[in-house]
């Protein structure tokens, strides 16, 4: 086990490095750069730029060099000083922009993920044990609906419904009271109210996959020989279901954890834009549109890092869960 973990951790660094290169390349791929997008936005507001001004800006931001130089500079700064560069649009260190939103992003992602798992695993088990029952059918349909509805449309429909019914469209994660006074006990209700739509929109998309997976795996397990044997030996149904079958069934769920995290990050960006959630997704999208390279690069790096970390953790968890994998890792 230790060997396995060690080897995986060792692979961590080059993976992240490769990821950073890929990410940086993609960001600067669209034509133009931050200065061009900045100049055009400000010009639209009536500002006047001469080509001198533009050249000065380019120089100031260091954008007059080819992308691999910029990447090298950026990487060097990260490794030697821990300085992730400056965001051109916010004119603040990238890290401060990210730290503004990172806690909330992590919190919301965890809340939604926990919600999904808490809801879907029991449903999956129930569906498996009562296959083809009405309940199974109902939950299946709801799950499919969740994944089949384009989130952005669902979000705006719910916001409008909320406005029509209650007069408050529940935009964003915080009510205006919370924005003014900060989050405290008395206005916690506002926060919870505003969580409803995000959970419904983003969470339901997740639950479907988990339900189906758990259900399918459980079905596979329940027909195995050892279950029959256990039953014959008088082990209670409860123990069979939770101690034996579920453990095996968790295999794909756990390996899907990393993917779930990654998809939550990128998949929720669009919903986050529509619902005005103050998480990293919309910031990333704006940064990409404006070609704010260091900000976009750092956010993507962070996300990628978390995903790779998640994969690592899930592989370790998987290895712990299923000893076969540990042994299988040895060369053929």
Partner 1 sequence: MVLHKRKNKKNKDDEYYLASQWTLMGRKFKKHKLAMVSLWVLGILYFVALFGNFIAPSDLVAYNSKIMNAPPTKIHMYHEGKYIGPFVYGIDMERDPVTKRKVYSENMDEIYKIQWFTHGCEYKFLGLFKSDLHLFGVEEGGAILLMGADSMGRDLFSRMILGSQVSLTVPFAGTIISFVLGIIIGGISGYFGGVIDTAIQRIIEVLSSIPSIPLWMALSASIPPDIPVVRMYLYITIIVSFISWTGLARIVRGKFISLRKEDYVMAAKISGVSNFKIITKHLVPGFMSYLIVSLTLGIPGMIIGETSMSFLGLGIRSPATSWGVLLQEAQEITSIATYPWRLIPLFAVILTVLAFNFIGDGLRDAADPYK
Partner 2 sequence: MRSRVLVLLMIVTITLGLLAGCGGTAGTGTVPEPTKKAQEPTKAPEATAAPKPTAIPDSKTGSKSQFTEPEEFKALVEAGKLPELEKRLPAADDVMVEYMESTGNYGGELNFTFNGKSSQWYYGKITEEALFRFKTDGTVEPNVAKGYDVNDDATVYTIYLREGMKWSDGEPFTADDVIFFYYEMCVEETFGKSLWDCFKVTDPDGNDSIAKFEKVDDYTFTVTFEYSKPTFLENLAINGKWCFAPAHWYKEILPKFIGEEAANAKAKEMGYSDAVAMGKETGYYYWNVPGRPTLRPWVVFEDVEHNDCDGEYFVMRRNPYYWKVDEKGQQLPYINELRFLRVSDPQQTLLKILDGTVNIFAVSYTDYDVLTANMDKGGYEFVEWSSVSWADLVSQLHLNQTVKDLKKRELFQNPDFRQALSIAVDREEYAALISDGFADGRQAAPSKGAMGYSEEWATKWTEYNPEKAKELLESCGLVKGSDGYYDFKDGTDFVLNLQTFTDSGADSSAEILMKYYNDVGIQTTYKPVDRSVLDNMTTSNDHEAVLAPVSSATSVSIILRPDTLVPVRNYTPWYGAVGNWYASKGAEGVEPTGDLKKLCELYDELKGAMNAKEQEEIALKMLRLHEDNIWVIGYMESLPVLIAKDKNIRNFPENSIFCDEFRDFGIAHYQCLYFAQ
Contacting residues toward partner 1, per CB under 8 A: 7, 11, 14-15, 18-19, 22-23, 26-27, 29-31, 137, 140-141, 144-145, 147-150, 152-153, 156-157, 160, 212, 216, 220, 223, 251-252, 255, 259, 262, 265-266, 269-270, 284-285, 288-289, 296, 300, 303-304, 307-308, 311, 324-325, 328-332
How far, CA to CA in Å, does 149 sit from each of 26, 120, 144, 152, 204? 29, 18, 9, 9, 10
Query: What is the rounded distance in angstroms from the CA atom of residue 74 to the CA atom of residue 220?
Result: 50
Cβ proximity to partner 2, 38 vs 139, nearer residue: 38
Cβ proximity to partner 2, 15 vs 36, nearer residue: 36
Residue in 304, 326, 306, 302 with CA at minimum distance from that of residue 315: 326
User: Tokens 């059918």 belong to which residue?
Assistant: 137
Binding-site size, partner 2 (CB under 8 A): 56
DSSP conformational letter for 168:
-
Query: What sign has the CA pseudo-torsion 142, 160, 262, 120?
Result: negative
The pair of structure tokens assigned to 272 is 């986050």
Query: What is the rounded distance in angstroms from the CA atom of residue 146 to the CA atom of residue 238?
Result: 30
The binder of partner 2 chosen from 2, 14, 29, 51 (CB under 8 A): 51
Only segment of 67-75, 92-100, 231-239, 303-311 that touches partner 2 (CB under 8 A):
92-100
Phi and psi (nearest 5°) for 162?
A: -60, -40
E-assigned strand segments in the chain: 86-87, 92-93
The binder of partner 2 chosen from 19, 75, 111, 171 (CB under 8 A): 171
User: Tokens 């060792």 belong to which residue?
Assistant: 10
91 binds, among partner 1, partner 2, none (CB under 5 to 8 A by kind): partner 2
Only segment of 142-150, 189-197, 248-256, 276-284 that touches partner 2 (CB under 8 A):
276-284
The pair of structure tokens assigned to 6 is 């060690």
Cβ proximity to partner 2, 41 vs 243, nearer residue: 41
DSSP conformational letter for 130:
T
Shortest Å, Cβ 132 to partner 2: 42
Query: What is the rounded distance in angstroms from the CA atom of residue 87 to the CA atom of residue 77?
Result: 14
Cβ proximity to partner 2, 40 vs 141, nearer residue: 40
* Half-sphere exposure at residue 176, Cβ-oriented, CA atoms within 13 angstroms: 2
Shortest Å, Cβ 260 to partner 1: 11
The binder of partner 2 chosen from 289, 323, 324, 328 (CB under 8 A): 289
Under the criterion CB under 8 A, does residue 81 sit at the interface with partner 2?
A: no
Under the criterion CB under 8 A, does residue 29 sit at the interface with partner 2?
A: no
Cβ proximity to partner 1, 133 vs 266, nearer residue: 266
Under the criterion CB under 8 A, does residue 267 sit at the interface with partner 2?
A: no
331 binds, among partner 2, partner 1, none (CB under 5 to 8 A by kind): partner 1
């Amino acid at each position: 086990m230790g060997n396995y973990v060690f080897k995986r951790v060792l692979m961590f660094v080059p993976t992240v490095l490769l990821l950073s290169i890929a990410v940086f390349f993609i960001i600067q791929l669209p034509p133009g750069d931050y200065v061009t997008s900045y100049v055009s936005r400000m010009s639209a507001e009536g500002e006047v730029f001469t080509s001198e001004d533009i050249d000065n800006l380019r120089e100031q931001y260091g954008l007059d060099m080819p992308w691999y130089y910029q990447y090298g500079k950026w990487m060097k700064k990260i490794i030697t000083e821990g300085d992730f560069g400056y965001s051109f649009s916010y004119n603040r260190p990238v890290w401060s922009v990210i730290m503004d939103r990172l806690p909330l992003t992590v919190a919301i992602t965890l809340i939604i993920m926990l919600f999904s798992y808490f809801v879907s695993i029991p449903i999956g088990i129930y569906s498996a044990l009562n296959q083809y029952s009405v309940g199974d059918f109902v939950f299946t349909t709801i799950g499919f609906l969740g994944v089949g509805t384009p989130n952005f449309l669902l979000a705006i429909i719910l916001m409008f419904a909320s406005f029509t019914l209650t007069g408050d469209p529940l935009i964003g994660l915080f009510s205006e009271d919370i924005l003014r006074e900060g989050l405290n006990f008395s206005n916690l209700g506002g926060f919870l109210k505003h969580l409803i739509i995000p959970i419904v929109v983003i969470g339901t998309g997740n639950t479907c996959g988990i339900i189906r997976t758990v259900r399918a795996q459980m079905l596979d397990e329940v027909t195995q020989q050892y279950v029959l044997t256990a039953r014959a030996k008088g082990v209670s149904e409860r123990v069979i279901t939770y101690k034996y079958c579920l453990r095996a069934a968790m295999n794909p769920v756990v390996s899907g954890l990393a993917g779930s995290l990654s998809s939550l990050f990128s998949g929720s960006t669009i919903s986050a834009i529509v619902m005005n959630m103050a998480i990293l997704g919309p910031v990333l999208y704006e940064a990409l549109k404006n070609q704010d390279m260091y900000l976009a690069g750092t956010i993507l790096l962070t996300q990628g890092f978390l995903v790779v970390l998640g994969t690592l953790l899930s592989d370790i968890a998987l290895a712990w869960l299923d000893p076969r994998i540990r042994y299988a890792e040895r060369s053929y």
